[in-house]
Structure 1
Amino acid sequence: MTPPASAGTPTLPLPGPRVEWAALPPARTTADGVRVLAGVPYAGLPGARPLELDLWLPAAPGTAATAVPAVVFLHGGGWRLGSRHSVGPAYAGESPSPLERLARSGIAVASVDYRLSGEAVFPAQLHDAKAAVRWLRARAPELGIDPDRIAAWGESAGGHLAELLGLTAGHPVLEGAVGVDGSAGELSSSVAAVVAWYAPSDVAAVAADAGADPLDATTREAQLLGAPAAAVPDRAALASPIGHVHPSAPPMLLLHGRADRFVSCRQSERLHAALVAAGVGAQLHLYDDADHMWLGATDAAADAVTRTMTFLHHHLRGEHP
């Protein structure tokens, strides 16, 4: 109840409950029984729209004994475009979508919106991704999800964030304070496995690898950082997955096209080499004719989904191909 005010003093209503603990919306059910909860708020930001995700849950509700693993999916778009509704143009109109296919196979999916570079600069995007993982872990019992089996998967800019999720759990600067509080340590933002498609893994070198001007302030990575990477080397290093590699990182699957004109496959090659050198279980597969977003290689788009599902089933469900 709002407390009484003195005469002549205007009153404001008290804030409502935090959106990350709001009741879940009703689910719609697909023809195959997958339950879809759309537009679920996972964090509230003062003065900004709530951050939302879409949940794709396997048909059979999980219990404490039968809880299912989950994947946080992060969309691409150069950190400045895109939304949780797209897995990439290669899959536009595909039914069932790759996300629904994964849910049908017994792995829940949370497709996440995060702040774009026009709204906030790095590390806001990673703070949001970590908040989504913590939210999923906090709400796991009511969703039937196993909080110990959560992975990250992303394409392009989302792949960059997925890699950082795998490499920076608990980082004092990169953890952030968005959404569900994880400061006490019981709600970690760690993930058990990572899949990254054509991701920028060495932010400082993206422009040079693509043959662009490293001092161009209009590049996607410059807009992410708030300045060209060469002008803010410390911030670029902080934003680069390759700079956070450590021996206890989770297994990673890196997929990239050799013909990628926007994010050179050298980005994934260098990260893979660093992971292997650190003793991390990393896999790299390159597609000869594939450009960014698998353009020019329909077979690559289909194969990438198959490899992704196989990898996630292996590391989250213990199923061997």
Structure 2
Amino acid sequence: MSRPSAGAPRVLPADRGRTNVFVHLGVVYRRVDGLDLHLQVIQPSGDAAMLGWEAAFSGRYPCLAFVQGSGWRRQDLGAGLAFLCRLAERGHVVAVVEHRSSAVAPHPAQVHDARAAVRWLRAHAEDYGIDPDRVAVSGDSSGGHVALLLHATDGAPALDEDPDGAALRLTHTVAFYPPTDLTRMDHEDAVRELLGGVGPGEDPAAARAASPATHLDRRPRGPVLLVHGSADEVVPPEHSTGYADVLRAAGQHCEVVMVEGAGHGIWPSLFTPELIDVVDDFLRR
């Protein structure tokens, strides 16, 4: 390549085919208990400078409602944006869901909020390029627990503020290192707070009622992908492998990915490029 002459601009070709990621920050989807609850909506689009605004945002994409993990407490809604934006570049609208903290409202408030978020996203599908027939749910850690409760109760009145409300019709569920059996977490302060100040050992019925297996039945539901790090000391991998057995015994389709040597949390050691390929492929099947 020849060097440009002094004072001449360096010329680079425009990349006309890349997917843009447009993030709508702080979208209020619900007001409850005097609180505004927000979504961070990551929308794929074309290049508006090349295509024009309307054409760039005319696409319709599958939607993934992602419940950010936090021990069911106050969430840092930007914690997973790097990974989630890479998934949006593959052609998924990703909406990071804020729920009430367990310090403000114990279980099942978090499930109520996530369900309301999914219904809001479907009702506002046209505003954010969402295909309303392709809505999935996901979450990491405590958010994965909430996502699995939505899956287990989809189409049933349990844990629904509106027992006559429409089913979520979730196409897929993806849970990263989720706690699935709260009866095994008696020494976790976060679980005690979620259950309203009592530990699983004091009230095992409450712990079972807040665990997804209690609500699972054999009615058809979308498939589940469970992802766990083999070195997770916060939520041991048995929470995923054990729940996979429960799902399969109930006739549900389930896949498990174990990331060798990975610990707990949204860190690059677990959220690798290979994992994005796996999740993207799962959501498209």
Q: TM-score, normalised by structure 2?
A: 0.82
Residue 59 of structure 1, aligned match among 26, 45, 57: 45
Q: Give the structure 2 partner of residue 245 of structure 1.
A: 216
Equivalent position of 2:270 in the other structure: 300
Deviations 1:115-171 (A, max 9, x none): 111111000000000000000111113333121210011110011111111111244
Unaligned runs of at least 5 residues, structure 2: 1-17, 47-55
Aligned counterpart, 1:257: 229
State the shift of 1:80 in Å: 1.6
Change (3 A) 1:236 1:69: same
Q: Which residue of 2 aligns with 1:204?
A: 183
| Matched letter for residue 20 of structure 2 | G
Q: Which residue of 1 aligns with 2:67?
A: 74
State the distance in 2 between where 1:201 and 1:224 align.
14
CA distance in 1, matches of 2:191, 2:275: 25
What does residue 221 of structure 1 align with? Answer: 191
Deviation at 1:244, TM superposition (A): 2.3
Paired-residue identity, %: 35
**1:233 aligns to 2:199 (yes or no):** no
Residue aligning to 1:111: 96
Letter of the 1:37 counterpart = H
SS where residue 284 of structure 1 aligns?
strand
Matches within 5 A, 1:1-321: 32-46=19-33, 48-60=34-46, 67-87=60-80, 97-177=82-162, 183-185=164-166, 188-205=167-184, 207=185, 214=186, 216=187, 219-226=189-196, 227-247=198-218, 248-293=220-265, 298-302=268-272, 303-314=274-285
Q: 1:68 to 1:62 in 2, by over 3 A?
A: farther
Cα distance in 2 for partners of 1:184, 1:103 equals: 29
Shift in CA distance, 173/294, structure 1 to aligned 2, threshold 3 Å: closer
Does the 8 A contact of 1:73 with 1:112 survive in 2?
yes
Q: Secondary structure at the match of 2:201?
A: helix
Superposition deviation, residue 58 in structure 1: 1.3
**Which protein is richer in strand relative to its size?**
2
The separation in 1 between residues aligned to 2:225 and 2:192, in whole angstroms, is 26
The offset of 1:114, in angstroms, is: 0.6
Q: Which amino acid aligns with 2:107?
A: F
Partner secondary structure for residue 76 of structure 1? coil
| Per-residue Cα deviation, 1:17-66 (whole angstroms, up to 9, x for no partner) | xxxxxxxxxxxxxx9522221111101114x2211001111104665xx5
Question: C-alpha deviations, 1:257-285, integer Å up to 9, x for none?
Answer: 22211111111111101111222110012
Aligned partner letter, 1:166: H
* TM-fit CA distance, 1:255: 0.9
Which letter maps to 1:276?
A: R
1:249 and 1:112, CA in 2 relative to 1: closer, same or farther beyond 3 A? same
Residue type of the alignment partner of 2:132: P
Q: Deviations over 1:92-114 (max 9, x none)?
A: xxxxx222122221110111111
Deviation at 1:242, TM superposition (A): 2.0
Per the normalisation by structure 1, the TM-score is: 0.74
Q: In 2, are the aligned partners of 1:200 and 1:263 still within 8 Å (CA)? A: yes
Shift of the alpha carbon at 1:77?
Answer: 1.6
How many residues align? The count is 256
Which residues of structure 1 form unaligned runs of 5+?
1-30, 92-96, 208-213, 315-321
Instruction: Name the aligned partner's letter for residue 28 of structure 2.
Output: P
Residue 233 of structure 1, CA deviation:
2.2
**Is contact 1:42-1:51 (8 Å) kept?**
yes
AA partner of residue 31 (structure 2): G
2:124 counterpart letter in structure 1: R
Distance across 2 between alignment mates of 1:147 and 1:36: 19
Q: What letter is aligned with 1:224?
A: L
CA distance in 2: counterparts of 1:35 and 1:308, whole angstroms = 21
